[in-house]
Amino acid sequence: MQLPLLFSAKKAHGSSTFAALRCPNGSVFSITFSQARDRGRTSLPTIREAFLQMCNLPVRVVCRANAEYMSPSGKVPFIHVGNQVVSELGPIVQFVKAKGHSLSDGLDEVQKAEMKAYMELVNNMLLTAELYLQWCDDVTVEEITHPRYGSPYPWPLNRILSYQKQWEIRRKMKAIGWAGKSLEQVLEDVDQCCQALSQRLGTQPYFFNKQPTELDALVFGHLFTILTTQLITDELSEKVKNYGNLTAFCRRIEQQYFEGHDKDSSATASARCAKRSLLR
- 211-223, pLDDT tens digit by residue? 899 999 999 999 9
CA dihedral 197, 199, 205, 207 (to 10 degrees): -50
Fold agreement between 23-102 and 106-259: no
Fold that domain 106-259 belongs to in CATH: Glutathione S-transferase Yfyf (Class Pi); Chain A, domain 2 (1.20.1050)
Binning pLDDT at 50, 70 and 90, where does residue 33 land?
low
To the question of domain 23-102 being in CATH 3.40.30.10, the answer is yes
The structural domains of the chain, with segments of one domain joined by +, span 23-102, 106-259
Over residues 163-190, the pLDDT tens digits come to 999 999 999 999 999 999 999 999 999 9
Binning pLDDT at 50, 70 and 90, where does residue 61 land?
low
Q: What is the pTM of this model?
A: 0.79
Q: Is the pLDDT of residue 272 over 90?
A: no
Report the mean per-residue pLDDT for the chain: 78
